[in-house]
Structures are given as structure tokens and as C-alpha cells.
Amino acid sequence: MAIGGLWPVVPLVAKVMKVKIDPSSLRQTRWYEFAARFVFGGLITATAGFIAQHYGPGFGGLFLAFPAIFPASATLVEKHEEEKAEDSERGKESGRKAVAADAEGSALGSLGLVVFAAFVWQLLPRYPAWLVLAGATALWLSVALVLWTIRATFFSKIRSEEHSEA
């Protein structure tokens, strides 16, 4: 799929959510939080490599699907949200909601990753790696964006129905 194939989806996503880059958030993150993410991700990757070396790449590949970054990020996101809130109870609720939204995005991205893996698995033996990986990446992004758009549309309809009934 060519990147041009994503253009029909992009306006839908833009209506649902605004993606913005906030470099100031990098200053809010402490060095040891970056280190924790790096170490945790590195340990998971090394473990998957060790398993692949001893039991074969097929079995080791199962462990590459482990969410290496999410567990460390989830605890840090929750902590940051709690610190931002003035009320500790509101901060805990805000933190849990932020982590839930992160988990939802991770789940949708993971479904895209399944498509990515299947695409690579089927085409890599016959085509150049750079071409297969580029196509798989475009496919992953397309699947993730379409799923996010469907999710956002579905939940906005539910919310509007709840408000009209009230």
C-alpha cells in the first residue's frame, strides 16, 4: 500500500483528535525515568534474543511482541498525572484514565502490529527486506489509524446517545 493510500484516513483522524508535540514535557521527565524505560526495554529485548538463540527464532519471536515500553511508561504516566493534580484523589483518577487511554492506544497499535508481522512473514522470503519493511510499516500505520478512527467514531456516537437520553 502506498503512503498516498493513507490520505482518505488522515482527515478523519484530524477531526477526532489533535496530535501535537510539546517539547516542554521532555523537561518534566527526569533522567532516571528515561533510564528506567531504556533498561526495561533492553532487558526484554535481550531476553527475547536469549530465548531465540536457545529455542529458535520462531519461539523467540513470540517474546518480541512483549510490550517492552508500555509497563514502564504506564507507571510514569500515572505518576506524572498524580503530580499535576492538586487533589490527590483527583490525581489518582486522572492518572488511571491517562494509563487506560495509553493502554487503549497500545491495543490498537498491537492489532496493527499483527498485520505488520503477517505481512513480513509472508513477503520477506520473496522480496527485498527494505521494501517489505516499508510496506509493512505503511500497513501498520494504516491499520492503527483506521482502528483509532473507528473507535473514536463509535465512542462519540455512544456519548452523544447518552447525552440525548439524559
Q: What is the largest CA-CA distance in the chain?
A: 60
74, 99 contact by CB (below 8 A): yes
The domain containing residue 148 runs over which residues?
A: 3-165
- In this prediction, residue 121 has a pLDDT band, given cuts at 50, 70 and 90, of very high
Eight-class DSSP state of 4: G
Please state, as a whole number, how many other Cβ atoms lie within 10 Å of the Cβ of residue 1: 13
Number of domains composing the chain:
1
The per-residue pLDDT for range 28-79, each reduced to its tens digit, is 777 877 787 788 878 888 888 888 888 887 777 777 666 666 776 777 777 7
Distance CA 34, CA 26 (A): 10
- Classify residue 106 by burial, with Cβ atoms within 10 Å: 0-12, 13-18, 19+: middle
pTM of the prediction?
0.59
